[in-house]
């Protein structure tokens, strides 16, 4: 496998979007790196793939901006380039929720790391003895490709449906420790903030999402693969492409 795939995001206030868009485009020009960089006033979200040295050089350049200092990237490998082109786009949100009251840059929801979540699931409760439930914040077709065993799945078709789904099911989560999860952390972070702002106190996001859980824990308590939005389609717990795991109804 010769192509390095990275995914990274950060909620941080950005005010100079056109200038930043231009600078990132110039930094990537001629590198043969492909994928998507999304910029919004709330932060940055990127999925890129290319030769390892070029990808690492770009991330070093990006982290030289104090707003992205220490930006963590999830890495995986593939035999072929999973993206067809490079896009650097300005959007209203780096992950669309249509809920402007959510301002992740002002503070993250508490996170639980993969090792702690595995321990909670092993024992059936958190460290205070409260029942733990996992909440899938992804779209239904993604969950059909793989999810945590016993996870709550509200069968949403797009993330903008999450606020209404939560409102409809909020009482079912009372008295439980809720761990929201998604592919790489961005959706479950926004979801956890929304739920806390709505008064649900025992809510955590899975830090780094499913991909980090795979890296640190493996397959424990998880069935199937993880859908990714590139030509790999689905990766298994070893972060190896497994397109045969795509559900027949997956988009």
Q: Is-contact 131 125, C-beta < 8 A? A: yes
| Residue 87 vs residues 21, 56, 100, 180, 193: alpha-carbon distances, Å | 10, 18, 25, 29, 29
Q: Is-contact 189 206, C-beta < 8 A? A: no
First to last CA, the chain: 26
Indicate which residue of 145, 182, 188, 226 is catalytic: 182
Can you list the positions of beta strands (E) in the chain? Answer: 3-11, 34-40, 43-50, 74-78, 86-90, 111-112, 132-136, 146-148, 152-153, 177-181, 203-206, 222-224, 226-227, 234-235
How many Å apart are CA 244 and CA 250, to the nearest integer? 11
How many Å apart are CA 174 and CA 168, to the nearest integer? 13
How many Å apart are CA 239 and CA 184, to the nearest integer? 13
- Count of alpha carbons within 13 angstroms of residue 168, beta-carbon side: 9
How many Å apart are CA 183 and CA 208, to the nearest integer? 8
In the annotation, is 226 catalytic?
A: no
Q: Encode 204-219: b = buried (16+ Cβ within 10 Å), e = exposed.
A: bbbbbbbbbbbbebee
Catalytic residues: 182
């Amino acid at each position: 496998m010769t192509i390095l795939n990275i995914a990274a995001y950060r909620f941080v206030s950005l005010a100079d979007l056109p200038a930043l868009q231009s600078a990132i485009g110039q930094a990537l020009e001629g590198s043969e790196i492909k994928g998507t960089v999304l910029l919004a006033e709330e932060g940055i979200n990127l999925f890129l793939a290319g030769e390892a040295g070029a990808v690492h050089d770009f991330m070093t350049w990006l982290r030289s901006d104090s707003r992205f200092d220490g930006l963590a990237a999830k890495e995986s490998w593939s035999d072929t380039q999973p993206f067809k082109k490079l896009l650097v786009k300005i959007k209203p949100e780096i992950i669309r929720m249509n809920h402007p009251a959510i301002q992740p840059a002002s503070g993250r929801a508490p996170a639980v790391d993969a090792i702690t979540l595995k321990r909670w699931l092993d024992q059936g409760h958190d460290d205070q003895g409260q029942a733990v439930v996992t909440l899938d914040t992804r779209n239904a077709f993604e969950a059909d490709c793989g999810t945590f065993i016993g996870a709550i799945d509200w069968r949403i078709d797009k993330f903008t449906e999450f606020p209404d789904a939560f409102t409809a099911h909020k009482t079912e989560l009372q008295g439980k420790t809720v761990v929201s999860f998604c592919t790489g952390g961005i959706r479950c972070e926004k979801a956890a903030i929304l739920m806390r702002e709505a008064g649900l106190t025992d809510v955590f996001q899975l830090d780094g999402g499913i991909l980090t859980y795979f890296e640190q824990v493996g397959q424990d308590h998880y069935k199937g693969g993880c859908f990714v939005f590139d030509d790999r389609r689905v990766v298994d717990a070893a972060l190896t492409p497994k397109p045969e795991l795509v559900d027949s109804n997956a988009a």
